[in-house]
Structure formats: structure tokens, C-alpha cells
């Protein structure tokens, strides 16, 4: 044990008293103090005619005056070591051993109570400091996250003027993977499958691969786009699903077409971005998982933001 606190006079008095009563022979006490990092030179200064009490008083006075608190560490080590003592071999085989051991137990018991109080105080202070540090780190993380989310939102806002253009579509796809990267999802960017079909990429969540289709058109996505994307999903492995993100949303026919028994397609639009993700109410993962759970329960691919709490 090493407390950063300065030992109180009462604590020092109890430690000195326990030292004197737990050890009867000078040689035994000398060996104990050497084990507690008292310097050999200082132990050598203990003369034959100097009593244990006189030496202990002199030793502790010197430890208290040691620069940089090094002596306090020795005092705390001495106190903790004695407080752990359950028996006192050095007090055996004396005519008054019973009395010596009784006094030693009493002195050590008093010291042990103070050591335990100090340990508890140190533990409580450490927990408070750890909580304060954790809170500070969380606040810093929130600030950093908010800054990054704001940048992503601004980047998307900057693309609006290009909505409905081929250039805008490519930029929106790239933006989406910046969003995915921020939320640390495993992903693969745009590629062509073995049938030369263009896939906007894929993400993996909870062990399931989702093919991704991004739409940056001015008009809502229609039923025909749903059919085309469904055909891409169905040609993949059984555990493959799809996510279509349409900035302009979906018309009624598209949503109806996507909703079917055991649907493998989830639909997202700008409302999920601007009402849930950008305000940091939910992460991208949580939004996908909520729509996924809804699709599993109802066969409906689309879940409006207003229905997320149901």
C-alpha cells in the first residue's frame, strides 16, 4: 500500500506502537525493518545501548523528514505489513508471552482498523477519479463524434445541388461509405459480380452480409428499381440481404413491392439520416437493426421514423 496522503500523527503513533509490541528482540525488529526498505546505513546507526523505542522514534522522525515523500512510503509499508500479522513468533517462549501477545494483538488490531480505513478511502477516491476521467473521456468522444457527424451532414448537404446527376450518384455512394466507415462497420465498396452486374457495395452486420444500393435521384425510387435489386440479392448466398438507401425516398408501389414474406430487403431514406443518425439519437447500426427487426416481425421492408418507438 502506498497512499499519496501524508500519514496523520495518530496513524504514525499506532504504527510505532505496533512495531514495538509485535517484536521483542532488536534483531527481529531490525530484520523486519530491513525488509520494509529501511536503509542498511540507518539500521547500522542503531547502537547497542539505544532502546527499541528510542530508535523507532528517531527512525520515524527521519522518515517524516525524507524529501519527496519517500519516507511516507516506508511508513505505509511498515503499517500494512504489521497490520497483516496474525501471529507473533518473536513473542513466543517468554515467561509473560501471553501478556506480550495480548498487547501485540490489541496494538495491531487498532493499526489494522486505520489501515483498512485508509485503503477504503484510497479506493473510494480512485473510483471517483476513474469515474471523473471516464466522464471526461466520454464527453470528449461525444464532442468528437458530434463534430464528425456534423461534417458528414454538411458533406451530404453540399451534394444536394448534384442530386439527380450521375456525378451526384457516384458522390453519394462514396459519402455513404464514409458514413459506414465512421460507424466502423465492415464493408466492401462498389464492385461487379460474376454476371457483370454492378453492385454498389456491401456491409456486414451481426454476421449477415447486406448488398447496398444507393439512390440519389430527384424522384422517389420506384417499383422497377426494387425488382432489379431483388434479383441481385437472390443470386447471392442464402444469408445475403439488401439495403437500399434512397435520398428521395420511395413511392408507394416501391414500398409495397419490397414488402413480402421473409423479405430480404430493407429500405432507408433521408428521414432516417436527418431525424435519427445526424441528431445522434441512433447509430447507423441501430437504425439498420431496428428496420431489420421490424421486417422479421412483419415482412415490411420500410419502417417510418415515427414508428421506431413502437
At residue 122, φ and ψ (nearest 5 deg) are -65, -40
pLDDT at 146: 60
Task: Identify the three-state secondary structure at position 310.
Answer: coil
Q: Name the 3-class secondary structure at 195.
A: coil
Decide yes or no: CATH 3.40.1350.10 for domain 163-307.
Answer: yes
Q: Write down the domain spans for the chain.
A: 9-125, 163-307
- Measured CA distances, 304 to 90, 255, 268, 290 (Å): 80, 11, 9, 11
Per-residue pLDDT of the chain (310 residues; tens, 9 = 90+): 545 678 899 999 999 999 999 999 999 999 999 999 999 999 999 999 999 999 999 999 999 998 878 899 999 999 999 999 999 999 999 999 999 999 999 999 999 999 999 888 888 888 888 888 887 777 777 676 667 899 999 999 999 999 999 999 999 999 999 999 999 999 988 876 666 667 778 999 999 999 999 999 999 999 999 999 998 888 777 778 999 999 999 999 999 999 988 889 999 999 999 999 999 999 999 999 999 999 999 999 999 999 998 7
Measured in degrees and rounded to the nearest 5, phi and psi for residue 150 equal -60, -40
Q: At what angle do helices 26-35 and 52-65 cross, to 10 degrees?
A: 20
186, HSE (Cβ side, Cα atoms, 13 Å) = 7
How many angstroms separate the CA atoms of 143 and 101, rounded? Answer: 61
For residue 244, the SS3 value is strand
Separation in Å, CA 51 to CA 26, 57, 68, 71: 8, 10, 29, 22
Q: Give the C-alpha separation, 301 to 261, whole Å.
A: 10
Helices assigned H by DSSP within 66-96: 70-83
The values of phi and psi at residue 219, to 5°, are: -95, 150
- Under 8 Å between Cβ of 258 and 226: yes
Cell of 159: 451534394
Return the H-helix or E-strand segment holding 144. helix 97-159
Which set of grid coordinates corresponds to residue 120? Answer: 477504503
Output the nine-digit C-alpha cell for 199.
453492385
The pLDDT value recorded for residue 195 is 65
Spatial separation of the C-alpha atoms in residues 149 and 274, rounded to whole Å: 11
43 DSSP assignment: H
Give the model's pLDDT for residue 194: 63
Region of residue 73 (phi > 0: left; psi between -120 and 50: alpha; otherwise: beta): alpha
φ, ψ for residue 87, nearest 5 deg: -140, 165
Q: What is the pLDDT of residue 200?
A: 78
Amino acid at each position: 500500500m502506498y497512499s499519496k496522503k501524508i500519514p496523520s500523527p495518530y496513524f504514525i503513533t499506532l504504527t510505532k506502537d505496533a512495531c514495538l509490541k509485535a517484536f521483542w528482540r532488536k534483531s527481529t525488529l531490525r530484520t523486519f525493518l530491513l525488509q520494509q526498505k529501511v536503509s542498511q546505513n540507518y539500521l547500522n546507526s542503531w547502537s547497542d545501548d539505544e532502546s527499541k523505542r528510542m530508535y523507532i522514534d528517531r527512525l520515524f522522525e527521519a522518515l517524516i523528514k525524507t524529501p519527496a515523500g519517500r519516507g511516507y512510503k516506508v511508513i505505509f509499508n511498515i503499517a500494512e505489513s504489521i497490520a497483516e500479522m496474525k501471529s507473533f513468533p518473536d513473542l513466543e517462549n517468554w515467561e509473560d508471552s501471553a501478556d506480550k501477545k495480548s498487547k501485540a494483538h490489541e496494538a495491531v488490531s487498532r493499526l489494522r482498523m486505520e489501515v483498512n480505513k485508509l485503503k477504503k478511502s484510497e479506493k473510494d477516491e480512485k473510483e471517483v477519479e476513474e469515474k471523473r476521467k471516464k466522464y471526461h473521456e466520454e464527453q470528449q468522444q461525444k464532442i468528437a463524434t458530434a463534430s464528425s457527424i456534423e461534417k458528414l451532414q454538411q458533406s451530404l448537404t453540399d451534394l444536394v445541388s448534384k442530386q439527380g446527376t450521375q456525378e451526384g450518384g457516384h458522390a453519394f455512394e462514396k459519402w455513404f461509405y464514409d458514413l459506414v466507415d465512421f460507424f466502423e462497420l465492415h464493408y466492401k465498396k462498389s464492385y461487379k459480380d460474376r454476371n457483370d452486374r454492378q453492385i454498389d457495395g456491401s456491409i456486414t452486420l451481426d454476421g449477415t452480409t447486406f448488398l447496398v444500393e444507393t439512390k440519389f435521384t430527384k424522384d422517389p425510387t420506384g417499383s422497377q428499381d426494387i425488382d432489379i435489386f431483388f434479383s441481385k440479392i437472390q443470386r447471392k448466398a442464402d444469408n445475403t440481404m439488401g439495403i437500399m438507401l434512397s435520398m428521395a425516398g420511395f413511392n408507394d408501389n416501391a414500398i409495397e413491392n419490397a414488402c413480402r414474406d421473409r423479405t430480404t430487403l430493407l429500405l432507408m431514406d433521408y428521414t432516417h439520416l436527418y431525424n435519427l443518425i445526424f441528431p445522434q439519437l441512433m447509430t447507423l447500426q441501430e437504425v439498420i437493426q431496428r428496420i431489420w427487426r421490424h421486417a422479421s416481425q412483419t415482412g415490411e421492408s420500410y419502417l417510418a421514423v415515427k414508428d421506431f418507438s413502437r
